[in-house]
Amino acid sequence: MDFFFIGDPELVTAFRFIGIRGKAVINAEDAQSAFLDITQGMANSSSTDGVPMEKVEHCQILILTEEVADWLGDMLIRWQLSDQYPLVVEVPGMMGKLPGRKTLVESIREAIGIHV
């Protein structure tokens, strides 16, 4: 299974240590460009922190920080509703969970009706 990460430079390094390639972004424009490169397979000559984009064109799971997900906004929602790969997973960024966001465990518990 091919993973790719888009988020903070520090987290890109951390994910690289466990074998997951990534792209560091610092603003909404960078995030949108990286997201389009992955989701639309726009293989170009630019690199993704040393990884040519044509090498990540078949990504199956895309991991984003919550901040990046916010920057993508409606673009991300349209992608998630499109029923295409890569699947998108959001994780907290370096500063932790954003206010008002549920954790994955909280969402699963709510979906299956477990209240502890």
**What is residue 7's three-state secondary structure?**
strand
Please give the single-letter amino acid code of residue 59.
Answer: C
Place of tokens 């520090």: 10
Q: Does position 68 have pLDDT exceeding 90, yes or no?
A: yes
**What is residue 71's three-state secondary structure?**
helix
Looking at the DSSP bridge assignments, the partners of residue 22 are 5
pLDDT of 35-60, one tens digit each?
998 888 644 434 445 554 444 557 88
| pLDDT confidence tier of residue 109, bands split at 50, 70 and 90 | confident
Q: How many domains does the chain have?
A: 1
Q: What is the pLDDT of residue 47?
A: 46
| pLDDT confidence tier of residue 7, bands split at 50, 70 and 90 | very high
Report the CATH number at residue 78: 3.40.50.10580
Q: What is the pLDDT of residue 43?
A: 40
